[in-house]
Amino acid sequence: MTELLAALRELPGMHSVGAVQQLPLRGGGYRLGLRFPERPDIKELATEYRIVTSGYLESIGIDFRRGRTISSADRRDTERVVVVNEALAQKYFAGVDPIGKVMSGDVDAPSRIVGVVANAAEKRLIDSAEPVRYVALAQMPWMDLSLMTALSLVLGAIGVYGVIAHYAVRRRRDWAIRVALGLPGSRVIGHVVGHGALLVTAGIVVGIAGAAMLTRLLSSFLYGVSAIDPIAFLTAGAALLAVGTVAAFLPA
């Protein structure tokens, strides 16, 4: 992500560049719990939560009221910071300057408020302003390329499960006839699971072969990682094979 944003900033005429996990005006947002270490009496709070990179607030055109924005200096090894909007400041820090105050509830470490920005339409234009906090992507311990890998693996697992389960269910009548003619149920289960595992294995082999042949093309879309990663291929392949086997076993 860092290399991609840096490359975009070098484009002619580019004023500012940023990224966020939830763009405004896209309907339902992402909410997360909120706690104030100085106010243990305030419980069961939650606000809209936006994970952003440096430059996002400037790119989206949100006005700053005081303090500073999320910057490239906010890294995983520095103090965790958060920028809040005016709605949050007015609701929880009425009559008090929120800059320097500490809040928690998103990760294991508390965050210090370093800036206040104007309210912006987050979900719909007709919605009234609600508390929102913006945190640095670079300070999220689980937000890196590993997250993208996990999401890809989950999506692949869902697809494998659907295909294999559909295959097994379609042949349910055939297997019922064979069982009625004396075929043991364990043989049916073994055959369905074995066939499902074979299909998944074939798909994994084809996928790896395709990735190997398209290495040059894939490399132009990847930043900081190799298009051919044996450990990643083996891990993903094993996970998909396990999912495919379970997907065949359940309907069997």
DSSP string, 200-223: HHHHHHHHHHHHHHTHHHHHTT-S
Residues 52 and 154 in one domain: no
- Angstrom distance (rounded) from CA 80 to CA 141: 11
Q: Which residues, in sequence order, are CB contacts of 238 under 8 Å at separation 6+?
A: none
Residues 127 and 39 in one domain: yes
Q: Which residues, in sequence order, are CB contacts of 128 under 8 Å at separation 6+?
A: none
Residues 51 and 171 in one domain: no
Residues 11 and 130 in one domain: yes
Residues 132 and 234 in one domain: no
Helix (H/G/I), strand (E/B), else coil: 183: coil
Residues 152 and 174 in one domain: yes
Which residue type, as a one-letter code, is found at position 9? R
Answer with the one of 139, 162, 177 that is the final residue of a domain.
139
Residues 17 and 125 in one domain: yes
Residues 123 and 12 in one domain: yes
Residues 172 and 104 in one domain: no
Answer with the one of 139, 165, 194 that is the final residue of a domain.
139
The structure tokens listed for 203 are 């798909």
Answer with the one of 97, 113, 139 that is the final residue of a domain.
139
Residues 176 and 229 in one domain: yes
pLDDT at 221: 56
- Angstrom distance (rounded) from CA 206 to CA 198: 12
- Number of domains composing the chain: 2
Q: Is 171 left (phi over 0), alpha (psi -120 to 50) or beta?
A: alpha
Q: What domain range is 191 assigned to?
A: 145-249
Angle at 16 between CA 113 and CA 29, to 5 degrees: 55
Q: Are 130 and 47 in contact (CB under 8 A)?
A: yes
Predicted TM-score (pTM) of the model is 0.59
φ, ψ for residue 146 (rounded to 5)? -55, -35
Residues 108 and 214 in one domain: no
CA atoms within 13 A on the CB side of 84: 24
Helix (H/G/I), strand (E/B), else coil: 47: strand
* Burial (CB count within 10 angstroms: exposed 0-12, middle 13-18, buried 19+), residue 216: exposed
Q: Are 138 and 41 in contact (CB under 8 A)?
A: no
The pLDDT tens digits along the chain (252 residues) read 677 787 888 888 888 898 888 787 776 667 888 888 777 777 778 888 888 988 899 988 899 999 999 988 888 888 999 999 999 999 988 888 999 999 887 666 789 999 999 998 877 777 788 899 999 988 886 655 766 667 777 777 787 778 877 877 888 888 888 889 998 988 888 888 888 888 888 888 888 888 777 766 666 555 555 656 777 778 878 888 888 788 778 777
Residues 90 and 158 in one domain: no
